[in-house]
């Protein structure tokens, strides 16, 4: 399966909406999507969102492409810059997609002589619990279970 990539960009309500293909991720998995789209005339749009991969494919296969299968796409919106996107110019899009993880870092007892509530220089927190956020269930990484 190909890595995530932008499949299209559409101006909708004055904003740039980008379709991002997520076939390599699992259904219902949460992903963080960020990036920017630009044109040579100076137009640009930054986008950022956390979304859930659809439970089922939401883009049908292209029957004109041999061995194409159904796809999982999500849509992110970027607010364009004052420079308007032009229909006669290409749009270059850079997208980063990553799984979303939650880590709880355990606090350490206060050092002798430390100011109440303030972490002194050199304070360290260590991973206590790690969980991938995946569609409503939080799986605990067994290396960090108590």
Strands 101-106 and 30-38, by their bridges, are unpaired
Does 130 or 59 have the greater pLDDT score?
Answer: 59
Q: How far apart are the C-alpha atoms of 91 and 96, rounded to whole Å?
A: 16
Mean of pLDDT over the chain: 86
Lowest mean pLDDT among 36-40, 59-63, 134-138: 134-138
Q: What are the tens digits of pLDDT across the range 84-143?
A: 999 999 999 999 999 988 888 888 776 666 666 677 788 888 888 888 776 554 555 555
What is the reported pLDDT for 32?
95
Contact status, residue 46 vs residue 79, Cβ threshold 8 Å? yes
Q: Has residue 15 got a pLDDT over 90?
A: yes
First to last CA, the chain: 37
Q: How far apart are the C-alpha atoms of 130 and 145, rounded to whole Å?
A: 9
- Domain extents in the chain: 5-99, 102-144
Whether the model clears a pTM of 0.85, i.e. scores above it, the answer is no
């Amino acid at each position: 399966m190909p890595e995530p990539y932008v499949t299209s960009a559409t101006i909708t309500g004055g904003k740039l909406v980008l379709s991002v293909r997520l076939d390599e991720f699992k259904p219902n998995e949460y992903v963080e999507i960020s990036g920017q789209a630009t044109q040579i005339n100076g137009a640009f749009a930054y986008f950022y969102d956390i979304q859930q991969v659809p439970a089922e494919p939401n883009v049908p296969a292209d029957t004109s492409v041999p061995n194409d299968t159904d796809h999982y796409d999500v849509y992110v919106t970027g607010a364009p810059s004052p420079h308007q996107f032009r229909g006669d110019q290409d749009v270059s899009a850079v997208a980063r997609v990553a799984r979303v993880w939650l880590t709880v870092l355990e606090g350490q007892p206060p050092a002798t002589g430390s100011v109440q509530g303030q972490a002194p220089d050199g304070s360290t927190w260590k991973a206590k619990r790690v969980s991938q956020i995946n569609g409503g269930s939080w799986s605990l990484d067994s290396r960090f279970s108590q």
